[in-house]
Amino acid sequence: MYLLRLALASLGNRRFTALLTVFAIALSVCLLLAVERVRTEARASFANTISGTDLIVGARSGSVNLLLYSVFRIGNATNNIRWDSFERFADHRQVKWAIPISLGDSHRGYRVMGTSPAYFEHFRYARSQPLQIGQGRAFADDPFEVVLGAEVAKALDYRLGEELVLAHGVATISLVKHDDKPFSVVGILERTGTPVDRTLHISLAGMEALHVDWQNGMPARGAGVVSAEQARALDLQPKQITAFLLGLNSKIATFSLQRELNEFRGEPLLAILPGVALQELWSLMGTAEKALFVVSLFVVLTGLIGMLTAILTSLNERRREMAILRSVGARPWHIASLLILEAFALALAGVLLGLLLLYLGIAGAQGHVQANYGLYLPLDLPTAYEWALLGAILSAALLMGCVPAWRAYRQSLADGLSIRL
Amino acid sequence: MRRLLLALPFALLPLAAAQANEHNHAHTDEHGSLDAHEHGAARLNVVLDGQALELQLESPAMNLAGFEHAANSAADKAKVATVRSQLQDPQALFGLNAGDCTLSEQELESALFEEAAHDEQHADEDESEHSEIHAQYQLDCKKPSELKQLNLSELFKRFPATEKIQVQLIGPSGQQGVELTPAKPSLSF
């Protein structure tokens, strides 16, 4: 115990270098844990985004691409699919429910999704949790009604009954607005922690009404304009959608229906199993994750080597200190353990400060990360794996402490009270 | 000369149009795209729902039999017969030794098998093409909760030309997609 006190007192004497060393270790530990945490949370939140959907169907492209745009609202569809293809498979005897999805518009950076009431009934996330409407109701017959995700409502401060204008395209600042056909907010969903929170949901009829008078990708001018009132009277049956989600009566039928969809002659369709596509995505991201992890490991190593350097360079200055300790009865192994303890104390302080930095960082960035990346970072205690990482860092520090300890041990054997420099 | 060059596209127009027609024709007649065919790789779909377990194996014939042409020689025919009998044992092939499963239905499909059965009527057509072997099994598992994993080591052992199998599995814990290899032959349900 007195050894530890001595080690701390000696460190206190060199507090500036000691503090810098601790800070370097703390930053590296914080980085390592942050990378680890973002990685695991990203996986968990991705995996929680969709549940209970047996097949996702879209235009033929890549399975990861289809998964990203249909579920995560990342990227864009290469093509749309015909409404009659959707109807054909929605009525398939193996299909229990089908949710059409139509994408392409946005509102102040948040994606707008056209869908049917089936979405609120059948869509599941996390562990088979249904969507809950927190305020108001789902959209009904009027095409110009919108149901907001929790994050949209909170960030843009919308309440029930307010009117908003959607923009054409998905850029954050869009020059073409659908300002002739405003939508009114009829419902706000409960928070889900998934991309649903960052989505505005309108009916397919609403999506069709927005573009009913468009020609060649441009809004109509003059006589061609169809007002919101006129649009209500029109037949707003959509002709195309972006993708659809299917739930089946029996999981046994999944593969045969997937085959049937992929071999559909009407148009090139791609049916994917969301769970399988998600794992494909992991294997793609796995390399990047590993690279990040390795980089942060090396940063930790650099921090520890910095500590080693600091202790080693201090050894010469501390010959007198060691000699005095020897003269009052300290044995060489006392001197050695003093240095190991010093290294350990520095690393421990670094780890603790690193944890503190991590939690401060998470607490500070939580809201921002959730709003912009849909990633919820919980303020949980470190997991077993994280403890193991921290333990490994501490043992590495102990091991490194052996180097100066060994040198000091040799020196204290050779040096007398009067040091021959 | 220049005028002639200008006229060239118009002269070629009917040709292009004819070709476009032909192109369309080909599309309506057959599927838009063809299945992937990669030697050494196979695909396996597994679904466990309640007590029903269904497996579908699709593999290039190359992986299983070592050739893809019609079996003409006696040696080839013997080989096809061996492959066929080896495929008729899904419990061993897929390592399904728990869960008390019994085979209720199986279906083996391949151009190779057909020709072995009723001789070389259309052997000529298929000779240049790649051929696949499709195997489909339906099992009835009395204790599905005991069925912990799928193990393909026996399959890799019997058919050493198979290097990897892309597995899609739907089980009680959801959907999984994994590539299994002789070094990592198992996957838990």
What letter represents residue A172's amino acid?
Answer: T
Pull the structure tokens for residue A279: 């794992």
Segment A104-114 shows an average pLDDT of: 88
Which residues of A fall within a CB distance of 8 Å from B178? 279
Segment A68-77 shows an average pLDDT of: 88
**Residue-wise pLDDT tens digits, B5-26:** 555 455 544 444 444 444 443 3
pLDDT-based confidence at B2, cuts 50/70/90?
low
Residue where a domain stops, chosen among A243, A272, A301: A272
Which residues of A fall within a CB distance of 8 Å from B168? 255, 273, 276
CA distance B23 to chain A (A): 15
Residue where a domain stops, chosen among A225, A243, A272: A272
Verify whether the Cβ–Cβ distance B54 to A280 is below 8 Å: no
Which residues of A fall within a CB distance of 8 Å from B33? 60, 268
On average, the pLDDT of chain A sits at 87
Judgement on whether residues A133 and A110 belong to the same structural domain of the protein: yes
Judgement on whether residues A154 and A256 belong to the same structural domain of the protein: yes
Residue A279 forms contact with B (CB below 8 Å)? yes
Res A221 pLDDT > 60: yes
In a domain, A371, yes or no: yes
Query: What is the reported pLDDT for B15?
Result: 46
Residues 6+ apart with CB under 8 A from A79: A59, A60, A61
In a domain, A400, yes or no: yes
Where does A268-393 show beta strands of DSSP type E? 269-272
Q: Could you tell me if A83 and A238 are in contact, meaning their C-beta atoms sit under 8 angstroms apart?
A: yes
Residue B45 forms contact with A (CB below 8 Å)? yes
**Residue-wise pLDDT tens digits, B29-38:** 344 566 677 8
> From A277, which residue of chain B is nearest by alpha-carbon distance?
B177
Higher pLDDT, A134 or A128: A134
What total number of domains does chain A contain? 2
Judgement on whether residues A165 and A148 belong to the same structural domain of the protein: yes
Range(s) of the domain holding residue A107: 55-272
In a domain, A72, yes or no: yes
Calpha distance A107→B56 (Å, rounded): 45
> Domain residues of chain B, as ranges?
41-188
* Total residue length of chain A: 421
**By CB neighbour count within 10 A (0-12 exposed, 13-18 middle, 19+ buried), where does B92 fall?**
middle
Calpha distance B60→B64 (Å, rounded): 7
Which residues of B fall within a CB distance of 8 Å from A275? 170, 174-177
Which residues of B fall within a CB distance of 8 Å from A254? 47, 170
Query: What is the reported pLDDT for A174?
Result: 62
* CA dihedral for B169, B175, B180, B183, sign (positive or negative): negative
Q: Kindly state the percentage of chain A with pLDDT values over 90.
A: 43
Calpha distance A45→A373 (Å, rounded): 11
CA distance B175 to chain A (A): 5
Judgement on whether residues A142 and A16 belong to the same structural domain of the protein: no
In a domain, A420, yes or no: no
**Residue-wise pLDDT tens digits, B44-72:** 999 998 889 999 999 988 888 888 888 88
Judgement on whether residues A71 and A213 belong to the same structural domain of the protein: yes
Q: Kindly state the percentage of chain B with pLDDT values over 70.
A: 74
In a domain, A277, yes or no: no
Residue A174 forms contact with B (CB below 8 Å)? no
Query: What is the reported pLDDT for A52?
Result: 86
3-state secondary structure B91-113: HHHCCCCCCCEEEEEEEEEEHHH
In a domain, A419, yes or no: no
Calpha distance A41→A48 (Å, rounded): 10
Q: Could you tell me if A401 and A343 are in contact, meaning their C-beta atoms sit under 8 angstroms apart?
A: yes
> A351, A379, A301, A360: which is closest to A29 by C-alpha?
A351
Residue where a domain stops, chosen among A272, A301, A321: A272
Judgement on whether residues A109 and A16 belong to the same structural domain of the protein: no
